Every structure is written in structure tokens, then in C-alpha cells.
Amino acid sequence: MTEDESNTQKSNKILRQVLYILVFLLSASNVILLYLLTFGCNEKENYENTATSSNAYLMERDVLIKKINSLEEEINQMVQKNRELVEDNIELQNTLKLAAEAGIKPQNYKKFSGFSIRTELERGEYVGRFIGTAYTPSEDECGNNLGITYSGEPIMAGISLAVDLEHWPIGTIFFIKGLGYGVAMDTGEAIKGRNRFDFAVFDKRFAKLLGYRSWDVYLVKIGDGNIDFQF
């Protein structure tokens, strides 16, 4: 083999090695490029999913905020309506108490000053249906017109109640639906039983108008023998 042939073979061998290296590098670069493309697509998908989740969360948050605002508005409206009902109830009670004071006055009586609009009225615990009548502190009904109740306090039309003291002690405070608040201050021979009361008024016609009927009664405060008008 001549020297030229030997050099040619060496050159060809080197060229083949360089070619192999180039092919290897090209293949490796393709693999890397494919990996980078795949990684990039996954990252893009993850980003899009995260963005979608964030948008969904923000939408849900906005919906909840709107619901909360709507509920707060409804609550405020209910509070206002309840306040108006309480004020109406107070006005009606004050009117009723004034009506109960109309008529012939006894020698002694206490005038009801009326509930304040700011009064926090409580009904208390429901204790059942009571049979209620009305009486006047007149001589033909009470034997005298002194106007002094069994408690020793002057009668208060629209407030004083006669009850059976075996069941309700003096000073017991009731809320009677339709008549308002009343205080056990008196008793009478015809007032017997737990579910019985007599409502004090000054006008006989008003007493007859109230008649003999049943009322829903609530216990606000059990009495201790003393009269307390703090309802």
C-alpha cells in the first residue's frame, strides 16, 4: 500500500468519526428540543389551568359577596320593619290604656304614663289561654269606690289585673295579647283558677264591650308581693 493510499484511509476514517459525532449531536439536540417543547406545553397548560381556577375562584367570591350584601340588606329591612311593628304596638297599647281610663274615676287611682317608643318590650313565656273579664272600681262592683287594690296600691286602669292569688302572687306581670301589659294587683271572689283574670277599666260600657272571652297570655315576670311597673 502506497503512502497516498494510507493517508486517504486515515482521512476517510476521521471523516466517518466526525460524521458519527455530528449525527449523535444532532440526535441529542432533537431529543433536548422535544423535551423542551413538551415541558413548555405542560407549563403552558398548567398556567392556563391555574388561570382558569383563579378566574373561577374570583367569580365564586363575587357571587358570595353579592349574596352577603343581599342578605345584609334583607336583615336591615327586617330590623326596620320589626321596629315599626314594635312602635305600632306601643302606640296601640298606649291608646288602649287611655281608653281604659275614660269613665268615672274612683277616689284613688294611678294614671298610666304610657310606654316610651324606646321601651324594649318583652312578651315572656306563653302560659296559655285565659278567661278574661273587665271590672270597674265602683261601689256596686267592689263594695266601695276607694280605688285601692288588694296590693294596697291605687288602681291603674288598663294595667291592674285581678287574679287568683293561689296561682299568681301580687306583682306578677303578664302580657295579654290584645290588651297589652298587666300587673296582678287585685283579686276577687269570682276570680278563681290559674287561667282567669279581671281587667280594670273605669267605664262600665267599655267593661261590657270587652265581655267574657279568652285571651292568649304570656308571663313576663312572676311577682314577689311588690308592685313593680318596670316591664
The x, y and z cell numbers of residue 5, run together, are 493510499
0.85 surpassed by pTM:
no
Check the CA dihedral 123-127-129-133 and report its sign: negative
**CATH number for the domain formed by residue range(s) 125-221:** 2.40.40.10
Determine the Cα–Cα distance for residues 228 and 208; give it in Å rounded to an integer.
Answer: 28
Q: What is the Cα 38 distance to its own chain's centre?
A: 59
Q: What is the pLDDT of residues 180-199, one digit of tens each?
A: 899 999 999 999 999 999 99
* pLDDT exceeds cutoff 80 at 18: no
Q: What is the pLDDT of residues 119-158, one digit of tens each?
A: 555 778 999 999 999 999 998 888 888 999 999 999 999 9
Q: What letter does residue 148 receive in the DSSP assignment? A: B
